[in-house]
Structure 1
């Protein structure tokens, strides 16, 4: 990964500096953006090899930057690591597994090992991301009978658990009724 330009878009100076310090020295040119608006300018101007994007940003949100990246075929090819200390904010907008959206997710706070793994995953996902033409040509997958059977087994198990929980609730209601009568 020698000579890669990494754009870190995060409103926290601490996170931007932390990313820079955790990367091997000399191998990366780290560009810092303090908000989504500045980040979008740097994406166009610098054409980074990797984008590390905080999801909760001032001015232009990480969600808006993500949508902008996804709307342009050239930008979609750039490996992306989405970062957030509040994963639920991300999953509200983008359902898991994140890999199917071709980006890595890094939960804050993070350690060097997690950062490295996320960067590697982002590069791997960018390599396998289908082009626009390929994505249009791929037919929907046929339902796999093994998957269907596995789902049916899960449904059956959940139904049995519901029955067991209903029995437990009925027992609790009886117990509460008996306790109320004893207290009178």
Structure 2
């Protein structure tokens, strides 16, 4: 069972799925929200170990979610990766250098994602007394991924290859059936 919860708040299903696929299998439970309103509910209910927040969101904007996180000491201690395809919109509201969160520009690659997660874990404000201490464990897991948790990566690739081979075999069978059907019709 995954011991680290990562909440991805993004209106793009592609980004939510991409983040899930880039993280090492088994290390993380990835929760996702398609807008800021849903994201805020999940932050309060699930208490994630890391939040990945798109800056431009429907219903409640990423900027508003960011402000609510910053106004609550307990939520502020959750490591945060802010995402946007347009960095200038972020810097209009939040001046660089970004101090207590990591920023990642979309689109991004796996290495960039892992580096942003590690940075967010490192620079997040310390949790008030009594808050969950799971963030360091999540940082260690992300560090393992970045340092080449190659056996897990290899295993995941082998599983993907097996699945793809099964799909190829199924398609070959369908093509054979179609060819047999066409030959029968041509007689």
Query: What's the TM-score, normalizing by structure 1?
Result: 0.67
Relative to structure 1, is the Cα distance of residues 49 and 131 closer, same or farther in structure 2, using a 3 angstrom cutoff?
Answer: closer
SS of 2:53 mapped into structure 1? strand
Question: What are the superposed Cα offsets for residues 74-97 of structure 1, whole Å, 9 maximum, x if unpaired?
Answer: 000000000000000000000001
**Mapping 1:10-25, distance limit 5 Å:** 10-25=10-25
Relative to structure 1, is the Cα distance of residues 131 and 20 closer, same or farther in structure 2, using a 3 angstrom cutoff?
Answer: closer
* Preserved contact between residue 77 and residue 126 of structure 2 (Cα < 8 Å): no
**Mapping 1:107-118, distance limit 5 Å:** 107-118=105-116
Is structure 2 residue 121 aligned with structure 1 residue 123?
A: yes
Question: What are the superposed Cα offsets for residues 108-153 of structure 1, whole Å, 9 maximum, x if unpaired?
Answer: 0000000000000000012xx2578xxxxxxxxxxxxxxxxxxxxx
Unaligned regions of 5+ residues in structure 1, if any? 133-184
**What residue in structure 2 maps to residue 80 of structure 1?**
80
- Distance (whole Å) between structure 2 residues aligned to residue 130 and residue 27 of structure 1: 23
- Distance (whole Å) between structure 2 residues aligned to residue 74 and residue 131 of structure 1: 6
The size of the alignment, in residue pairs, is 127
RMSD: 1.2
Unaligned regions of 5+ residues in structure 2, if any? 129-187
- Distance (whole Å) between structure 2 residues aligned to residue 69 and residue 25 of structure 1: 28
- Distance (whole Å) between structure 2 residues aligned to residue 70 and residue 29 of structure 1: 24
Runs of 4+ in 1 over 4 A off after TM superposition: none
- Distance (whole Å) between structure 1 residues aligned to residue 62 and residue 123 of structure 2: 20
**Mapping 1:1-184, distance limit 5 Å:** 3-98=3-98, 100=99, 102-126=100-124, 129=125
Which structure has the greater CA radius of gyration? 1
Query: What's the TM-score, normalizing by structure 2?
Result: 0.66
- Distance (whole Å) between structure 2 residues aligned to residue 131 and residue 85 of structure 1: 29
